[in-house]
Structure 1
Amino acid sequence: MCSQKDTTKDAILKSLKVIRMFDWLLDLYVLDFFVDDHWAKLPLSWQECFENMTPQDLGDILSGNPTSHVLPLSFLSLAKSVEVLSLPRKTKYEKSKKVINNNEDSCASHPKLKNLFLKHVKLKKRHEISLMAEVVSSVALESNCNAVIDFGSGLGHLVRVLAYKNNLHVAGIECQSQLTEEARKLDLQLEYTASKHLPENIIASLHRPIHFNMTLTCNEQLHQLKLPEEMKTYGLVGLHPCGDLGPLLIKHFINCKQVKYICVVGCCFMKLTCEGKETGYPLSNYVKGLDSKLSYVSREIACHAIEIYLERLRKDNYDDLKVHAYRAALERILVEHDPKLKHAPVRNIKHSNAMTFQQYSTLALERLNIPVVDVARGESDLLQWRRVVTLYTLRLVLAPVVETVVLLDRVLYVLEHGLSCEIHPVFDPKLSPRNHIIVGKRT
């Protein structure tokens, strides 16, 4: 019977073989669609098959629904391989309905305080925080460790739930001082609201979170934190830590016996350091010994929202899909105007899906401080918008298997050090596309 480590290695190896076969597709950056004539780089059978497909057809194919189109065998093989090898994205996790504390004299159970933790929190964040807090509390109980440090704590929404509602000793670390100060204010506001409904002795016994303002760049900084006695041992939490921060937390978990568990949800894979001595990818010795390179653009596409894009495709609404085509058409205009403008950063333009290309390009050129140029070429390119959508969709087919390699490399790294590790899809992928939580425990 294969061990978890062997199974993980096998999944990574097979996933990388698929990625190596289709590096050419992953690396067709949509931004350069017109500049580098990406459509011509697709196999002729793919061009002929996908040329006249509607967005609904593409949406059906991406979701595995039946289609009347005869698809190339090479594409069918790719789609099936990705389906088999990728980590499941549909969550089977159900939020517990049990009451954390039956005593109404608590932040968790008082009927007048049921919305105490929802203020200032958007719907997506509410969903993530409620599920993350439940997972963390469950792992803390299993690990017999009621202290936790949250990295990238922001306004402190998660730490407040863990501390005031779940009764854990919690510290939050945030690099932006403004967010740290605001988090402290929100703590006091919560306590003030709670004090209107709870006895003084309960308020006095609440576990107020500790907030640290610092930029974490190495594990040594964590040893220098001035933690209270009740936090001599603790767990680590990272809810979408950006780039290398996720791997940094995992390394600290491995190297520090004071850390009893870790719950981390990855994000921003394109910002990972992939070369040098201290890499964010690959982490495991096994993957380091393979042909495991993942380009920037392949890691970037792995961070995109597949389920959300699929819905847009199936609505067949050009207004929702044309943004990629707009940017690609603008890129050719910029490069022909000045080659040095290749991949010039155009900040997110709000409501671009409701603009004409003329309006979009005018605003983009203003942001780049470029004088008005003729955009007629772009209008002509936009006649091929369906091709741009198709190429992006074809690349998106591969996204889950790239994410799988990045995440399983982290799991394997923990397993290689003799610690237990699991990974589960917990969040609704339509609300939170990066929805896998890696849970490691030191037994």
Structure 2
Amino acid sequence: MPGVPVTSRVPGGAAVAAPPGPPEPRQSPEQRRAADIIRLLTLYRPLLDAFVIDFFTEDLWAQLPAAWQPALAGATPVQLAGLLGGSGGPGAAWPLSLLAFAAAARALAFPRGCPARCPHPPCQSSRLPPPLRRHVKPKKQHEIPRLGKLLRRLSRATGCERVVDVGAGQGHLSRFLAFGLGLRVTAVESDARLAGLAQRFDRELLRELGKARRAPAHGGHPLTPRAPRHVAGRLDPAAPWAEFLLPPEPPGAGPAARNPLGGPGGSEDGERVLVTGLHACGDLSPALLCHFARSPVVAAVALVGCCYMKLSTAPRQPPGYPLSASVAALPGHQLSYRAREAACHALEEYQGRLRGGGAHLRAHCYRAALESLIRAAEPAKRHLGLQPGRKAHGLSFPEYAQLGLPLAGLDPAGVPLDSGAVGAMLEQQHKVVAFCTLGQLLAPAVETLILLDRLLYLREQGFHCALVPLFNPRFSPRNLVLVAARTPLDTALAGLAKDTGDGDSSEDEEPEEAASLRERQSPQ
């Protein structure tokens, strides 16, 4: 124990008391959680790093604890769904070590909010006025008004009315912020073609508003005929904040536009800005956090991460992961590509598939069997990015393989598709499904570690920050929004659940407890 003298012996002498060492530094709850997650992942590293397509080629089932194998082999999909959700499943009798593993994985992962009863998002969201639903998929319709209202709260709390939307794509969020909420918006997109498409959609909406005698109302307020300003440019993660952008893609699409974060004098017109990114892919999220940390004109940031497998790791500076000194100092913090890919899984969707059964559950077994056939024919070919088709699981396996083998450069006529070995693999579909379920149990803990790393990085810089489960995880698996500001967030987040949960109940959604995950917001 720190501060307690430790006795030791010198050769040939009596016992002496060693002076007390320096007390261990006090860890925050977030640091302890990160350390606990790393210990859990270290214990189950082989499971975490395994690719399901190697199920047969590397005999992954035999690598599971022997006590788990009979219970998992005999489990029904509904019982596996219960294991994911913590209910055990009807009639399930799991080994205590498996229950402890599942309980630890669930306890260490951030709560993701309550999924709605409806298994699919609504076709149209009543929270968006009809003109702003155009060209927008249902998933985005679910996300945009919720993130928009959070940004409006940040705008009021910080006194900033200008928002910079990075990775804006076709501009759907930017359009809602500008036309629907009246904010001044700069949309930054690395693909010049998408930026051009966003401008075209803006012009369509402006023409519609110009023709209407009365602007369409949103939440009792008319839409504002103020379009976002679109900038084609790529974020430079390593540049000083005053050199925010690089020329857009594709090459030759044009020079980098004026930096929306501005130079030493401030933003475009000297104002402070809010920065947001809805599903900022790979290194884009940590790069935006770094720019926020070193750019005094950015008052606050609200980010939803995505595509964790694309995160860079050391020695790149700054790396995508780990970003914080706290996590980087923990032994075993490293995450493989496979682990980061697992963090992108849609746990609630998979749980729904288990409960519903059906042909979807064949997909992993089919792909693992196909991998075995490919490796048997040409051992050098492995982990090829084959996509026989989105609905290929509905086919028989010979039909599936006849689509997939040519993608690997193999002639299906030379591969035995109806052999006893193939039949034996297909009979193990229930084991493949059980193995996938174990990976799904770890996925939220991996995502939590990545998000904790970002939270701790911000705390180390002295900022106020919180993680909020803003979206319904069944509709939007990456539903945790990282919010950070230079001032306390209490005002911005107070009552957020009510603000983002209003609207027409015809959407068949339950309001999320959006602020239920608020971490301590005072800097350490």
TM-score for the superposition, normalised by structure 1: 0.90
Of the three residues 424, 431, 441, the one matched with 2:475 is 431
- Aligned residue for 1:249? 288
Displacement of 1:328 in angstroms is: 0.5
Structure 2 Cα separation of the partners of residues 198 and 147 of structure 1: 28
Structure 1 residues 304 and 167: CA distance shift in structure 2, 3 A: same
Offset from partner CA, 1:382-432 (integer Å, 9 cap, x none): 111111000000111111111110001101100110010000101000000
Q: In the alignment, which residue of structure 2 is the partner of 1:384?
A: 428
Which amino acid letter does the alignment assign opposite residue 312 of structure 1? R
Aligned match for 1:374, one of 413, 416, 421: 416
| Corresponding residue of 1:311 | 352
8 Å contact from structure 1 (residues 301, 395) kept in 2: yes
1:203 Cα deviation after fit: 11
Instruction: Please list the CA deviations of residues 304-349 of structure 1 after superposition, one character each: whole Å capped at 9, or x if unmatched.
Output: 11001101101222x0100011110000111111112111110361
Contact 1:147 1:231 in 2 (8 A): no
Secondary structure in 1 aligned to 2:428?
helix
Instruction: Supply the distance in 2 between the matched residues of 1:180 and 1:345 (Cα, whole angstroms).
Output: 29
Give, in angstroms, the shift of residue 196 of structure 1. Answer: 2.0
1:238 aligns with 2:277: yes
Larger radius of gyration: 2
Any conservation in 1 of the 2:106–2:441 contact (CA below 8 Å)? no
Alignment match, 2:235: 216
SS in 2 for 1:254: helix
Given the alignment, which residue of 309, 312, 317 partners 1:273?
Answer: 312
The equivalences for 1:335-346 within 5 A come to: 335-346=375-386
- Equivalent residue number for residue 106 of structure 2: 83
Greater fraction helix: 1
1:226 is displaced (CA, Å) by 4.2
Match of 1:225 in 2: 258
SS at the partner of 2:67? Answer: helix
1:10-409 matches, within 5 Å, as 10-67=32-89, 68-90=91-113, 114-197=129-212, 206-220=225-239, 221-222=243-244, 225-227=258-260, 229-230=268-269, 232-278=271-317, 279-291=319-331, 292-317=333-358, 319-347=359-387, 349-372=389-412, 373-376=415-418, 377-409=421-453
* Structure 1 counterpart SS, 2:380: helix
Q: 2-side partners of 1:226 and 1:119: how far apart?
A: 30
Counterpart amino acid of residue 381 in structure 1: M
C-alpha distance in 1 between matches for 2:108 and 2:408:
42
Shift of 1:181: 1.0
Contact 1:424–1:438, Cα closer than 8 Å, also in 2: yes
Cα separation, 2, equivalents of 1:126 and 1:231: 33
Per-residue deviation, 1:178:
1.7
Q: Deviations over 1:163-192 (max 9, x none)?
A: 111111111111222211110000000111
Cα displacement string for residues 1-60 of structure 1 (whole angstroms, at most 9, x for unaligned residues): xxx981211111111111111112112210100000001101111111111111111111
State the shift of 1:161 in Å.
Answer: 0.5
- Maintained 8 Å contact 1:91/1:425: no
Runs of 4+ deviating beyond 6 Å: 202-205
CA distance in 2, matches of 1:205, 1:51: 59
Q: C-alpha separation between the residues in 1 aligned to 2:156 and 2:115? A: 21
RMSD: 2.5
Identity %: 35
Distance of aligned partners of 1:348 and 1:248 in 2 relative to their CA distance in 1, 3 Å threshold: farther
Matched pairs, number: 422
Asked if 1 retains the 8 angstrom alpha-carbon contact of 2:82 and 2:88, the reply is yes
Deviation at 1:122, TM superposition (A): 1.0
> Displacement, 1:353?
2.2
**Helix, strand or coil at the partner of 2:31:** helix
Q: How far apart, CA to CA, are the structure 2 residues paired with 1:156 and 1:70?
A: 50
Distance 1:231 1:152 in 2: 23
| Matched residue SS, 1:235 | strand
1:266 CA displacement? 0.9
Output the CA distance in 1 between the equivalents of 2:299 and 2:213: 33
Letter in 1 for 2:351: L
Residues 140 and 298 from structure 1, CA distance in 2 versus in 1: closer, same or farther, beyond 3 angstroms? Answer: same
Label 1:72 to 1:186 Cα distance change in 2 as closer, same or farther (>3 A): same
Q: Contact 2:180–2:223 (CA<8 Å) still a contact in 1?
A: no
Matches of 1:394 and 1:75 in 2, distance apart?
10
Aligned to 1:417: 461
Secondary structure in 1 matching 2:146:
helix
Q: TM-score, normalised by structure 2?
A: 0.76
User: 1:369 Cα shift?
Assistant: 3.0
* Counterpart-to-counterpart distance in 1, 2:108 and 2:138: 31
